[in-house]
Each structure stands twice: as C-alpha cells, then as structure tokens.
Amino acid sequence: MSIEKQYLKSKPKCKVKFRVTKEEAGYAGVINLVGNFNDWDQTATPMSKLKSGDFTATLYLDLGQTYEFRYLADGDTWMNDQSADGVTPSSYPSDQNSVINTTAD
C-alpha cells in the first residue's frame, strides 16, 4: 500500500493518491476507500482496478485536517494502510483506523 500527497498551490487542497497493490489485494474483486471524508459510506469511493492488478483512488482533501480511513475489500474484509501517517483506535474495540494528515510541512 502507498499514499502520495501533493499540496496544490492553486487552492487549499491536498491531492492524495491511495494505492493497494495486487499482492495486498489478494483475490479481491472490489476495494472501496472508506473514511470520515465520505461519512464512512462503504460504497461512496470505489477504487479503480489497474491492468497491473493494483487498486487506486485519488481524493482532494482539505488542508490542515486529519482524516481516518480504511480499505474495504469485497464488502467484508477491512484493511489498514501501513504507509499512513498513523493509526487511531476506532469505535470498535479491537480495530484501528489509518490516519492521514493534510497539514503542509
């Protein structure tokens, strides 16, 4: 998994590209990016499957914010991103959410 951030000069947004590799996706046919940026809607942000088998999604997030997210594979398997800026406890006691911070360095 990987996350690429690009801070835009033309507007107060951070372009964030999320990637789940083919190896990490396993046999998943669909992966959705789910987080507080889409009100935890499990179908709002489907990731595009590339010819390589990797899945990607690009979002434009507000600057100066911290967002929690996870990946949902085939509607039943949750995954965290090890390349995220951190993790935080979720509302489910045994789970954690990945965290991305859009504060420019």
Task: Please determine, for residue 52, whether its predicted confidence score (pLDDT) is greater than 90.
Answer: yes
Distance CA 32, CA 47 (A): 5
pLDDT value, residue 37: 96
Q: Which fold has domain 2-101?
A: Immunoglobulin-like (2.60.40)
Angle at the Cα of 57 from the Cα atoms of 86 and 2, rounded to 5 degrees: 40
Q: pLDDT-derived band of residue 41, with 50, 70 and 90 as boundaries?
A: very high
Domains of the chain, residue spans? 2-101
Q: How far is CA 85 from CA 8, 21, 58, 67, in A?
A: 19, 18, 17, 10
pLDDT (0 to 100) of residue 105: 62
Query: What's the pTM value of the predicted model, to 2 decimals?
Result: 0.93
Q: Give me the residue label for tokens 């991103």.
A: 81
Residue 71 has pLDDT above 70, yes or no: yes
Q: Is the pLDDT of residue 104 over 80?
A: no
